[in-house]
Amino acid sequence: MAALKHRRTALERVEKFLSEIYFTDCNLRGRLFGDSCPPALLSCFQTPQRIQYDEAIRQEFQPAKVGDSFGPTWETCWFKVELSIPPAWAGREVHFVWESDGEGMVWRDSQPVQGLTKEGEKTSYILTSSLKKSEPHSLTLYVELACNGLFGAGKGSMIAPPDPDRRFTLSKAELVVFNRNVYELLVDLEILLDMAKLLGEEDQRSFQALYTANQMVNVCDVMDPSTFPAARDLAAAIFSQRNGESQHTIHAMGHCHIDSAWLWPYEETIRKCARSWVSVIRLMESNPELTFTCSQAQQFEWVRSWYPGLYAQIQRFVAKGQFIPVGGTWVEMDGNLPSGESMVRQFLQGQRFFQEQFGQMCSEFWLPDTFGYSAQLPQLMRGCGIRRFLTQKLSWNLVNTFPHHTFFWEGIDGSRVLTHFPPGDSYGMHGRVEEMLKTVKNNKDKGRVNNSAFLFGFGDGGGGPTQKMLDRMKRMSDTDGLPRVQISTPDRLFSVLEKESSQLCTWVGELFLELHNGTYTTQAQIKKENRECERILHDVEVLSTLAVARDSTFRYPASQLQRLWRLLLLNQFHDVLPGSCIQLVVADALQYYAEIRRAGAELQEEAVQSLCGDLLQPEAASTESTLVLNTLPWERTEVISRTEPARAKTLALVTVPSMGYAVVQEPLVPPQPVMVRKEEDGSVVMENGVIAVHLDVMGRLTSLRLVDSERKPVVTLLRPLEITLAGGLRGSVSFSLQVGASSTVTQEITLDASCPYLRFLTQVEWREAHKFLKVEFPVQVRSMNATYEIQFGHLQRPTHWNTSWDWARFEVWAHKWLDLSEHGFGVAVLNDCKYGASARGNVLSLSLLRAPKSPDATADIAHHRFTYAVMPHQGSFQDAGVIQHAYNLNFPLHVVPAGSAQCLAWSSFSVSSPAVVLEALKQAEDRADAVVARLYEAHGSTVVAWLQTSLPVKEAMLCDLLERPVARGCLPLELRGVRLSFTPFRLLSVLLVLGR
C-alpha cells in the first residue's frame, strides 16, 4: 500500500542521498570512487618562466608530496608523476586524480592530454575505461602547474590586483577506481531532484520527478551495485516521456570564452587555450556528438605555434564539423573604441586565417563579452560575408532590460544582420535544469521564435565543457516538462531562426551597454598608443602604396605590416584597449605598441626615401627647403615647424595637396597673422581672422567666438597664464594648476594662422586615487541632440535625460570629435586620443583621466600628454569641415628636410566630394599589382563622388572588405576618374589594378 509522502521530507531525503557534505559514509556520493593508491614517485621543479615541455623534462626534479605549497604567483611548477596501477584493478575504470590550487596540464608521451583545474571541475585524467592486461600498468606523467587560478590571483576579490605572494597547495595526487555506474545514477538523481524543485508545486511533472527519485532511493542499496540498474530504469522511464511538438528547442553548443588577457598576461592565455582545448578534444573522442564553438584566430595561431601536436588534432575535429571556428575576427575586440579600419582588419586577418588553416570562413560574428557594440558593425559584418551575430553582454545592462533576444540589428547605413542573445543570459552554462528553464522563461521573443542558443562550458579564464554537462543534457534531450535540448551548431541554430524570422523586430542604431562606462577612459596611455599606432599603420600603408606605384624596385612590406597589424589588433582585445586588465597586461601592451612605433618609423622612412628620394638632401646642414607629405585625401593649409640650415626651429604656413607632397621654399603669408595682445587687466586676447579668444588673468577661457559672428560659446579653465608665442603664424599662452592633492596640469593654448580651432596641448602629472578628470565646455548652443563620431560615420545621442534610456547614457564614447549644433551655428570638440565624452544640456564634456584601483592599482598613475581642441563654426558641422579638421589634428603633416631642387606639388588621390573620406589605401592582399582604396560617406547623405588618381590605373572594380571582387562590380575609368555612388554612411572598397 502506497504511503503518504511529504514533499519537503522527500526532497530532503533525496538531497542527503546525493550530498557531498552529509552522510558520505553511507550515501551514494560516497561510493563514487573505489580503491586508491598514491603515485610511486612524485617530484617537481619550479621556474619563473613558462617553458616548453622538452626543456622542462631536462631539469633536475626534487622530491615532492601532497600537502606541499608552491609559488609565488605566476611561477610554474613541473611535476614528474610515476604511477603503478595495481593488477587487482583489472577490468576497472582508472583515473589519475589531481587536486591543487592553480591550473594544471597533464603531459603524456611528450603531448598535452588533459587540462586540470578545480575551479573548472576538471580534477582527473582518465587512464583507462576498463583496465586490460595489455595496457601499461606503469607509466610516467608530467603535470605542468601554473601558479594562478582560472581567474588570476586577485588579492581579496577576483578583480582586485593580483596577490604577488600567493601560495598554491597540492591537496591530492592519486590513482583511483572510478565507479561509472554510481556516477550515472548520481546524474539521474540530480536532474530529477532539480525538476522536482524547479518545476514547482503547481506542476504535475514536479511531483512525478520527486516521487520517482524517492522510489530510486528505496530500491538502491549503495553497497550492492546489482540494485543500480533497477533504479536507473525508473529514471529512464521519466526521461523517455516525450514533449509536445510546440516545446521550445534549445541548441546546446560547447563553449569556452577565453579572455586573450584580463586578470592574467598574454603568455598565460596561451596555456589556458591549450589546457581548455585539449580537454575538449578528449571529450570529443568519447562523445562524437559534441560540438564546440571557438573564436579568436589569434588563439588558434598561439596553439599552432606552441602546441603543434594539439593543433593537428584540432584540425582533424574541425574537418569533422565538431570543433567549429566562429567569429571571423583576429580577437574578440572591443566593440566601441577601435577605428573603423581596425575593425575591418580584425575581420580581414581573422577570416583569411580561418580560410588558410581550415578551408572555411566564419558565417557568424561572435562577440559575447564586450562593452558595447558600434552601430557600424552590421555593415562591417555584411562586408565580410557575415549575416549573423551572437552576443549576450547587454543582459548586463545596469538600468534598462534590452527588449529582445532574437531580432534584426540595423546599422547606421541600413545594413541588417540577424542577431541572437542566448536567453539564458550567459555564455558559460553548465547544462543544469535551472538554466534550461530560465532560457525558456526569459526569452523576450516568445511567439516569434521557438529556438535559442545555449553555450555550455566554463569560460572567461578558460575551462570549457565537462562530461557531466553533456550527460545532464543527454537526459534532457526530449523530456516532458523541460525544453528540448539538442547538441547543435551555430549554422543549424541560425538557419532555423532565419526560417522563423518573418515576425522578428528590428533594432536600429548602436547596442549600448549600460555598464562599464569608465572603460572609455581608463588606461589612457593604452588608448593614446592605440590611436597613434592606428595612424602610423595608416601612413605607412599610404606611403608604401604610393612608393610601389612610382618605383618598380620598391617592395611593399606586406609581411611586416601584417605582423604589426596583428600586434595592434591583439591589443584591441576587449579587456586590453578598454583598460580593464591587470598591470602585467598593460606592460605587455605598451611593449607591443613600442614595437609598432619602432618598426613603423623604419617602414615609413623607407617608403619616403623611395617615393621622394631625389628630393631629399642627405646633408642636413645644406638644407634649403622642406618636403611636406600629406597622407589625408584633401588639400591642407597649416602651420608647420621646420628646421632651418642653422638647425633653428621656425614656423611656416604651407599648403600640401591631397595624399601627396609639396616642397616648400618660400612659406605662404597668412591672410591675417595671429594677433596676441595683453590687456591692462592682465587678460589676453588672441585672434587669427577666423576665431577670437579671450582669457582672463586666471587662465579662464571666457570667450571664444567666430570673428564674423557675435556668438560666444563659453568654456571654463583655471590658472595664471603667460604669453609664450606673441603671434604671427602662431600665438600661444601657457599656465599650470594643481588638481587634487598631488596632481598638476600644464596647458599651452595655441592658435595658428588660418586655423578654425583652438588647441589645448596638455600635460598632466597624475597621482590620484578614485578621481576623474574631465574638461567641460559650456556653450551658447541649444539642441536636443549632440553628434559623436563613430567608425566610418557618426550618430546622435540626446542631450537630455527624459527617459531611463537617455540617462543611462550619462557617459558615452566617441572617436575624434563630438559636436553640438543648432541651425546655423555649432561647437565641436576634437581630440587626439580620448574616447569618453558626454553632452548634457549645453555642456560638452571630454573625459581625460581616471584613477581606478582594480584590477590595476597603478592605472593611469603617470605623466600624460594629449591634445584636444574646440572649434566654433557657422552652418552644420558637415559644411564647416569638422570631420576633416579632426582628421588633421590626428594625422599631422610629415615634415622632412629637402634639397634645393625645384619640384611641383604632387597629389596621388583626391575625392571630388567633401562628404566622402578616403580612409585607407593599401596593397591588395593577393595581388601585388593592385591597390585597395577604402572610402566612406561621412555626412549622412546620398552623393556621387569621383575618385581621382595620378597613378597608372588600368582597371577598377568594387570589392568587399575581404578584397573579393563583387558581382557586376567593374567600374569604368573616365576622364574625371572613377564614379562612385554613396548612400548615407556607406562603405566602399575599390580594387585598382595598376599598369607599369
Tell me the three cell numbers of residue 749: 593654448
> How many C-beta atoms surround the C-beta of residue 455 within 10 A?
24
How many Å apart are CA 295 and CA 272, to the nearest integer? 14
Segment 344-356, tens digit of pLDDT: 999 999 999 999 9
Strand 323-325, strand 292-294: pairing: parallel
Residues counted in the chain:
996
The pLDDT score that the predictor gives to residue 898 is 86
The helix/strand/coil state of 699 is coil
> CA 785, 788, 792 angle in degrees (round to 5)?
135
Closest CA to 580 of 336, 230, 216: 336
From the candidates 101, 334, 369, 445, which is the catalytic residue? 369
Q: Cα dist. 348→341, 529, 783 in Å?
A: 10, 22, 39
How many Å apart are CA 455 and CA 863, to the nearest integer? 43
DSSP string, 780-847: S---SEEEEEETTEEEEEESS--SHHHHTTSSEE-SSEEEEEETTEEEEEEESS--EEEEETTEEEEE
How many Å apart are CA 294 and CA 130, to the nearest integer? 32
How many Å apart are CA 86 and CA 100, to the nearest integer? 24
The pLDDT score that the predictor gives to residue 714 is 36
- Cβ–Cβ < 8 Å for 472, 432: yes
- Cα 778 to chain center, whole Å? 34
Closest CA to 257 of 272, 245, 243: 272
- Cβ–Cβ < 8 Å for 580, 643: no
> CA 723, 727, 728 angle in degrees (round to 5)?
165
- Cα 610 to chain center, whole Å? 36
Tell me the three cell numbers of residue 403: 527588449
Residues 6+ apart with CB under 8 A from 312: none
The helix/strand/coil state of 464 is strand
Segment 733-786, tens digit of pLDDT: 998 888 888 899 999 999 999 999 999 999 999 999 999 999 999 999 999 999
- Cβ–Cβ < 8 Å for 279, 122: yes
Run of H or E residues at 94:
strand 93-100
How many Å apart are CA 454 and CA 33, to the nearest integer? 31
Segment 354-372, tens digit of pLDDT: 999 999 999 999 999 999 9
- Cβ–Cβ < 8 Å for 800, 507: no
Long-range contacts of residues 207-216, Cβ cutoff 8 Å, at least 24 apart: 207/7, 208/238, 209/238, 209/481, 210/7, 210/10, 210/11, 210/14, 211/5, 211/10, 212/237, 212/238, 213/10, 213/14, 213/189, 214/5, 214/10, 214/13, 214/14, 216/185, 216/188, 216/189, 216/192
Q: Which letter does DSSP use for residue 717 in this model?
A: -
Q: Is the peptide bond before 952 cis (omega within 30 degrees of 0)?
A: no
Closest CA to 879 of 952, 940, 834, 936: 940
Segments of the chain scoring below 70 in pLDDT: 1-4, 617-623, 645-647, 698, 710-720, 900-901
Give pTM, 2 decimals: 0.96
Strand 674-678, strand 721-728: pairing: antiparallel
How many Å apart are CA 988 and CA 795, to the nearest integer? 19
Tell me the three cell numbers of residue 163: 596577490
How many Å apart are CA 459 and CA 430, to the nearest integer? 11
Backbone angles phi, psi at 113, to 5 degrees: -130, -20
How many Å apart are CA 439 and CA 628, to the nearest integer? 61
Tell me the three cell numbers of residue 719: 590658472
Residues 6+ apart with CB under 8 A from 482: 195, 243, 433, 436, 437, 476
Segment 575-601, tens digit of pLDDT: 999 999 999 999 999 999 999 999 999
How many Å apart are CA 225 and CA 451, to the nearest integer? 40
> How many C-beta atoms surround the C-beta of residue 366 within 10 A?
26
- Cα 919 to chain center, whole Å? 22
Tell me the three cell numbers of residue 519: 572603460
- Cβ–Cβ < 8 Å for 342, 961: no
Tell me the three cell numbers of residue 304: 599552432
Tell me the three cell numbers of residue 338: 577601435
Query: Which residue in the block uniquely carries the three cell numbers 582560472?
Result: 150
Closest CA to 241 of 599, 596, 484: 484
- Cβ–Cβ < 8 Å for 313, 320: no
Tell me the three cell numbers of residue 900: 634645393
Backbone angles phi, psi at 434, to 5 degrees: -55, -40
How many Å apart are CA 106 and CA 78, to the nearest integer? 10
Residues 6+ apart with CB under 8 A from 446: none
Burial degree of 583 (CB within 10 A; 0-12, 13-18, 19+): middle
Return the axis-axis angle of helices 340-358 and 558-571, rounded to nearest 10°.
110
Taking the chain, what is the end-to-end CA distance rounded to the nearest angstrom? 98
The helix/strand/coil state of 101 is coil
Could you tell me where the DSSP H helices lie in 161-203?
180-198
Tell me the three cell numbers of residue 394: 547587454
- Cβ–Cβ < 8 Å for 235, 189: yes
480 noted as active-site residue:
no
Rounded mean pLDDT of the chain? 95
- Cβ–Cβ < 8 Å for 692, 686: yes
Helices (H) then strands (E): counts for the chain: 19, 52
The helix/strand/coil state of 756 is coil
Q: Which letter does DSSP use for residue 117 in this model?
A: B
How many Å apart are CA 74 and CA 149, to the nearest integer? 10
> How many C-beta atoms surround the C-beta of residue 832 within 10 A?
21
